[in-house]
Structure 1
Amino acid sequence: MRARRDPSDNWSKTPADRPRRRDIAISSGLGVLVLAVLLAAGTIDLAVFVGTSLALASLSLVYYLTALTTIEPEARPVERVTVQPADTAVAELMLERITVPILLIGPGGRIERANPAARAFLGLGGEGGLLSATLRQPRVLEAVSAALRGEKGRAVEYSTLAPIESHVRAFVEPIRLELPGPMPWRAMLVLADDTSSKRAERMRADFLANASHELRTPLASLSGFIETLRGPARDDEEARERFLSIMQVQTERMRRLIDDLLSLSRVEMNEHLPPSGAVDLCELARDVAGALGPVAASRSIGLSLDACEGEAIVHGDRDQLYEVVENLVENALKYSDDGGSVAISVRADLTRDAAEHSDERIAEGSGRLTLSAPPLSSEARYGVLRVRDCGQGIDRRYLPRLSERFFRVGGQKSSPTSGTGLGLAIVKHIVARHRGGFTVESAPGEGSVFSIFFPAVRKSATDGNEPVQRGATVS
């Protein structure tokens, strides 16, 4: 912006040390006058008068010289800044386009300005509200209050755990405006999202810890088989084929484990950033059912699909939602007995209460738990997908731990053919990123029902800038 100084604002032409020179002259003159009165009264003689006057003049000269060396320069008055209309338009455009959340806080902690990034980041409905009603972080509010008093700005870091974990660095700086009234100070608040960098640090540490723990067993097996093949079984062709087959299974298990760990790390890295696409749950369910149909047929398991009429369009990333549905259906097939059945159902436009609870309980006294819940909203509608199996079921006490990493029901030990124990953890994090819900209902001997639900896309949104992501249907 072009800043212009008001021509009426002139610096003072009076030297800053003139008041001190006046004080020195008056003090010296009064001293000489007093000595003259004493001389006229005969109290002192002429020699005393002359000597005292010279001493007083010398002290005055020393004081004057000392004052000149310690004088502080006169402070430059604050210039009034006038902004031209063209500058205002450019500044407004820049503020609207900046992707970093920026707010201007006025007296009383009220939000006077907020760019679109700040309104989206904090969920602001509009300007004019209290910052404390939106951002409940005492250290940030203290820094803003200090800036409104004209104190030095500072940076504050804070973290939130609900509804989504996030790490933010807030920069607060005071701004003085030439406005009428007793409160010229404003506070500029800039919010920088450090969630990605914080999670990257934690993901690296978690990956190393989990990988080293889970890979120890298959690596030990491979090492033992290699040692055996190089020693006692070197010339035993039958043993060699058997050991190589086991080594291949162990290698495949390590590959699956590494793939799942990398997938989980990628999901957690972007969990705080909601997706912007739109996906049809009905089409997605048909694709997964078509892809896993041969697996079900090989074990004589009936895989049925009950999709709603029309479409069930939800906010989401198609690849991640496909991974969620595939994980749930694979688990249902894995834990179902041969000749059993697995049912997939999709429903559209349900309330949160209807989405969290299935139409009827699978058994009297079955356990039901919400593993991940969306933000509260009385107007939100959801698309729901449920996967039901007729397997062994899960005891109520194990339900809270289903989404833990590497947890296996009933303390099952890891085996070459078992899963990695990361599937439901991946499902939970993807659902959380999509601001959706994840519930489970199960009873021993009766099977389980896993339900996922995501915010539905309004019809106007699908007609506009949010095209539905579609994939090739697997037959």
Structure 2
Amino acid sequence: MANEKPAVRTPATPDRPRRRDIVITALLGLLVLLVLLVGGVLAPGAWLAASLAFSALAFVYFLTAVTRVSPRSAVQMSRPVHASELESADVMLEKIAVPVLLIGPGGRIERANPAARAFLALGAEGGLLSNSLRQPRVLEAVSAALRGERGAVVEYASLAPIESHVRAFVEPLRMPVAGPMPWRAMLVLADETSSKRAERMRADFLANASHELRTPLASLSGFIDTLRGPARDDEAARDRFLSIMREQTDRMRRLIDDLLSLSRVEMNEHLPPSGEADLGAIARDVVDSLRPMADARAITLELSLPDEPARITGDRDQVYEVVENLVENAIKYSPEGAVVAIEALDNCARDVAEHAPERLAPQSARLLLAGPPFDPRQRYGVLRVRDHGAGIDRRYLPRLSERFYRVDGQKSGPTAGTGLGLAIVKHIITRHRGGFSVESAPDTGSTFSVFLPKPAEGSKAASPAQPVAAASAPEAEAE
């Protein structure tokens, strides 16, 4: 109790500008009465009575001219404010999970809670808001609040580095400070990306499902009509049609599963994972699960792993889905009896992570489909999958990660897929703030590489505020 700071009481102070206006008005009134007396409009007795009444009324208003406050504010002003209460308010602000900032004169950030520093990737408080938030409408609302104007609500969307939708609440705050700039702006940022993505996900799912399911449903309907009519008693035709119908049913099931998986990934793409996983162990599990599929086509799976665990920052289930998609594609598009090489690397620099040091062929094409901003200090865990299939022509590479895109020659037959596998891979890698690249040459094969950031030293996972940028207009290179 001896160290407790004395309470601070905020008294109600007179409103000086209002008192000044009352004095000026009273003098003008007396001057008008004097002019009326000189002009003979008022008798001396009437002038004296009017002057005394006017002066008394002005004096009463002068004494009662204080700053008007609401009853709630009056109670707060009459109650002593302890330093411990101010410290509690600071602790509450630090614990709030919503980004909150206090903007001072000139648009400089005076306070920012941890959520705001992570959301805007702020290095230190005191910088300009315009350096971290390049949204003109939000900056205009903050400038208006700093002038004491009413607050505003601004919605904005950002497509880079990751698509996001934010609602900004701006309110003016009058601070108990002397000087010509007593106003501050409180900025609260509400991330509405998840709700916006959910709305779009439902619309996209219905559109994609209705479009892609139309063909197999039409085929099933035609085969059913044939089996009920001309082929009713044809056993050979019935067996053949039932086999095709089973293939179409399996295709619809795979299509729906892939659409749901892609929608789930896109829903949380703006939220980087915070866990850790072993890339080498994931590759080993995928090879064990797909070995029966490879044995059915006499394909050999060669697995090369580092001596130490290749620790990465990521969601194990999603990384498993990435590796499974790449290895399964390599098995499907390799000829019977071929070899599929799966290699995991640890602690690689960016230039090694993007592409293998040795080319598949002298004229092979290389392309980065998605990648994070370049950081020379960041190290990565890398996985490469090499097949010996027909290869992909360079003009098709930029479209590999598009939804439902399949290279000519892969749109039908037993190896035909849904066209969503590489799109899922790209979105998962983008969410993990990693990279996805391809190298291919016709009649030689293809190598797909994914690289994921390693956990920061001294922490269990990488910072969730690390930005990422996906290649929006990649160009193939041939050296």
Partner of 2:208: 210
Q: What SS does the aligned partner of 1:461 have? A: coil
Give the Å deviation of 1:228. Answer: 1.5
Distance in 1 separating the partners of 2:155 and 2:82 = 36
**Equivalent of 1:173, from 171, 174, 181?**
171
1:133-156 superposed Cα distances (whole Å, 9 cap, x missing partner): 111222222221221121222122
Partner of 1:271: 269
The aligned amino acid for 1:32 is L
The aligned amino acid for 1:214 is E
Q: What SS does the aligned partner of 2:170 have? A: strand
Give the Å deviation of 1:287. Answer: 0.4
Distance in 2 separating the partners of 1:17 and 1:77 = 16
**Structure 2 unaligned blocks of 5 or more:** 1-6, 465-479
CA distance 1:230–1:417, shift in 2 (3 Å): farther
Q: What SS does the aligned partner of 2:411 have? A: coil
CA distance 1:186–1:26, shift in 2 (3 Å): closer
**Bigger mean CA deviation after superposition, 154-163 or 407-416:** 407-416
Do 1:250 and 1:416's aligned partners in 2 also have CA atoms closer than 8 Å?
A: no
Q: 1:16-415 alignment to 2 at 5 Å?
A: 24=29, 27-35=32-40, 53=43, 76-77=67-68, 83-410=81-408, 412-414=410-412
**Bigger mean CA deviation after superposition, 240-249 or 378-387:** 240-249
Q: Percent identity?
A: 63
Give the Å deviation of 1:129. Answer: 1.3
Partner of 1:471: none
1:348-375 superposed Cα distances (whole Å, 9 cap, x missing partner): 1111111112121110010000000013
Give the Å deviation of 1:244. Answer: 2.0
1:391-443 superposed Cα distances (whole Å, 9 cap, x missing partner): 11100010000000111112643557510000000000000000000000000
Distance in 2 separating the partners of 1:111 and 1:16 = 36
Q: What SS does the aligned partner of 1:374 have? A: coil
Give the Å deviation of 1:460. Answer: 3.4
Q: What SS does the aligned partner of 2:325 have? A: helix
1:56-106 superposed Cα distances (whole Å, 9 cap, x missing partner): 98xx89x98xx99xx9x9673578967421211211111111111111111
Do 1:253 and 1:416's aligned partners in 2 also have CA atoms closer than 8 Å?
A: no
Partner of 2:419: 421
The aligned amino acid for 1:327 is N
CA distance 1:414–1:204, shift in 2 (3 Å): farther
1:318-368 superposed Cα distances (whole Å, 9 cap, x missing partner): 000000000000000000000101001011111111111212111001000
Do 1:382 and 1:455's aligned partners in 2 also have CA atoms closer than 8 Å?
A: yes
1:107-148 superposed Cα distances (whole Å, 9 cap, x missing partner): 222111111111111111111111111112222222212211
Q: What SS does the aligned partner of 2:459 have? A: helix
Q: 1:442-461 alignment to 2 at 5 Å?
A: 442-458=440-456, 460-461=458-459
Do 1:398 and 1:410's aligned partners in 2 also have CA atoms closer than 8 Å?
A: no
CA distance 1:27–1:458, shift in 2 (3 Å): closer
Distance in 2 separating the partners of 1:75 and 1:221 = 84
Distance in 2 separating the partners of 1:321 and 1:236 = 48
The aligned amino acid for 1:192 is A
Distance in 2 separating the partners of 1:370 and 1:331 = 19
The aligned amino acid for 1:239 is A
Do 1:249 and 1:416's aligned partners in 2 also have CA atoms closer than 8 Å?
A: no
**Bigger mean CA deviation after superposition, 197-206 or 332-341:** 197-206
Give the Å deviation of 1:167. Answer: 1.3
Do 2:100 and 2:113's aligned partners in 1 also have CA atoms closer than 8 Å?
A: yes
CA distance 1:225–1:8, shift in 2 (3 Å): closer
The aligned amino acid for 1:139 is R
Give the Å deviation of 1:19. Answer: 6.9
Question: Does 1:9 find its partner at 2:7?
Answer: no
* TM superposition score normalised by structure 1: 0.85
CA distance 1:175–1:433, shift in 2 (3 Å): same
Partner of 1:472: none
Give the Å deviation of 1:390. Answer: 0.8
The aligned amino acid for 1:461 is S
The aligned amino acid for 1:246 is I
The aligned amino acid for 1:403 is S
Count of matched residue pairs:
441
Distance in 2 separating the partners of 1:299 and 1:440 = 24
Q: What SS does the aligned partner of 1:249 have? A: helix
Q: What SS does the aligned partner of 1:304 have? A: strand
Q: What SS does the aligned partner of 1:410 have? A: coil
1:153-210 superposed Cα distances (whole Å, 9 cap, x missing partner): 2122222222211111111111110113322111111111111122122222221221
Distance in 1 separating the partners of 2:396 and 2:462 = 44
The aligned amino acid for 2:241 is F
The aligned amino acid for 1:7 is P
Give the Å deviation of 1:29. Answer: 5.0
Give the Å deviation of 1:285. Answer: 0.6
Give the Å deviation of 1:225. Answer: 1.1
Give the Å deviation of 1:465. Answer: 13
Q: What SS does the aligned partner of 1:158 have? A: strand
Distance in 2 separating the partners of 1:177 and 1:234 = 87
Give the Å deviation of 1:28. Answer: 3.6
Give the Å deviation of 1:27. Answer: 3.4
Distance in 1 separating the partners of 2:357 and 2:197 = 38
